[in-house]
Amino acid sequence: MADNTAILKAGDKEIELPILSGSAGHDVIDIRNLGSNGYFTYDPGFMATGSCESSITYIDGAKGVLLHRGYSIEELARDADYIEVCYMLLHDKTPNTEEYQDFKNTITRHTLVHDQVNNFFRGFRRDAHPMAMLCGTVGAMASFYHDDLNITDPEQRLRSAYRLVAKMPTLVAMCYKYNIGQPFVYPRNDLSYAENFLNMMFSVPAEDYKISPAVARAVDRIFILHADHEQNASTSTVRLAGSSGANPYACIAAGVASLWGPAHGGANEACLNMLEEIGTVERIPEFIARAKDKNDPFRLMGFGHRVYKNFDPRATVMRESCHEVLSELNIDDPLLNVAMELEKIALSDPYFAEKKLFPNVDFYSGIILKAIGIPTNMFTCIFALARTVGWVSHWHEMLSQPGQKIGRPRQLYTGYTKRPYQKIEK
């Protein structure tokens, strides 16, 4: 057998399957010709199936590695800003000074949404979940750009990508303002991406809003650290929707809907809910003991990660920002006190080290968002805002590759075989 071929024995039949190697990570067995031999693979959750070829993001969970276009997430979070990361994800290279400024200006000029979008919000109840509003308004954006939706045109695809990256902070801030009954705040072209978002969230007509540089930098880092995470559920949803030829706004709305699931985008919200359940510093030992008890259903949220078996590389950088923000704001909040004490115990208790249950990015981002006054029901919206550039990068990449087909997973059918039908009167 050649090094680049696997042999599958199925009954008395042998099927040759090519082995493909990427630039990093595991080799994959190309199973595309199994169907013509009468077989399909069975892989619930696609845990061992490569669904596409991509050059955007690489993760090695065992080693705690996360690379965007070959650049480590730690370096990007410390030395780049979100706009630079957006350019890099979309264009497969870091921008020079001129490219960066042109891209930044383009994003800034597209932050304003059509005035008719205001009317969409008025159709929602005031207590509507922000993700419900975001899902609806993102999908509705297609109605404003129906002459610029040719997905076979790379230039039109990029314009759509730029619009989505630019307008998502405006839509997310509108969701928040509508919930609390305050007037929408227009974007300002003199502010950075993160500063503009904070201003649209928290400024009011009655007084000036002073933006803390530490808070703006922390929010920018949250955006960077959530920009993309390979073929996760929402990104795969965007790709699957895009494979049908759907317009980009419908695809990103599908991604928003997938992210809304508590098993995906609600991790930092679940972390805050856990802190509320613990309540006080004095009760932490009780919950630590429960977390160690295999028979107790309680689980510490925000510790460990499904993908990272060692540590979450994003958490180290996010921890720095978390402590900077708490120091800057000097907030006396019982929940934040619980979080900091819980972090201290988790980093010193041998049990957590043995189980590799280190605080992850959701733990720290949830604390930061809580500290700056963002309610928990908005956390997933902010995740969607940050992840939009990852979604559109994968969507654009997929449509740029030749030979793309509509996604059509197979199934293992376990229902009835053919049986006779009786008319209802019998």
Q: How far apart are CA 221 and CA 2, in angstroms?
A: 47
| Cβ atoms 410, 289 nearer than 8 A | no
Choose the catalytic residue: 229, 305, 394, 396: 305
Q: How far apart are CA 217 and CA 368, in angstroms?
A: 11
Q: Is 396 a catalytic residue?
A: no
127: annotated active-site residue: no
Write down the catalytic residue from 81, 220, 228, 362. Answer: 362
Token pair for residue 184? 């929408």
**HEC assignment per residue over the chain:** CCCCEEEEEECCEEEEEEEECCCCCCCEECCCCCHHHCCCCCCHHHCCCCCCCCCCEEEECCCCEEEECCEEHHHHHHHCCHHHHHHHHHHCCCCCHHHHHHHHHHHHHCCCCCCCHHHHHHCCCCCCCHHHHHHHHHHHHHHHCCCCCCCCCHHHHHHHHHHHHHHHHHHHHHHHHHHHCCCCCCCCCCCCHHHHHHHHHHCECCECCCCCHHHHHHHHHHHHHCCCCCCCHHHHHHHHHHHCCCCHHHHHHHHHHHHCCCCCCCHHHHHHHHHHHHCCHHHHHHHHHHHHCCCCCCCCCCECCCCCCCCCHHHHHHHHHHHHHHHHHCCCCHHHHHHHHHHHHHHHCHHHHHHCCCECHHHHHHHHHHHCCCCHHHHHHHHHHHHHHHHHHHHHHHHHCCCCCCCCCCCCCCCCCCCCCCCCCC
Query: Catalytic amino acids?
Result: 305, 362
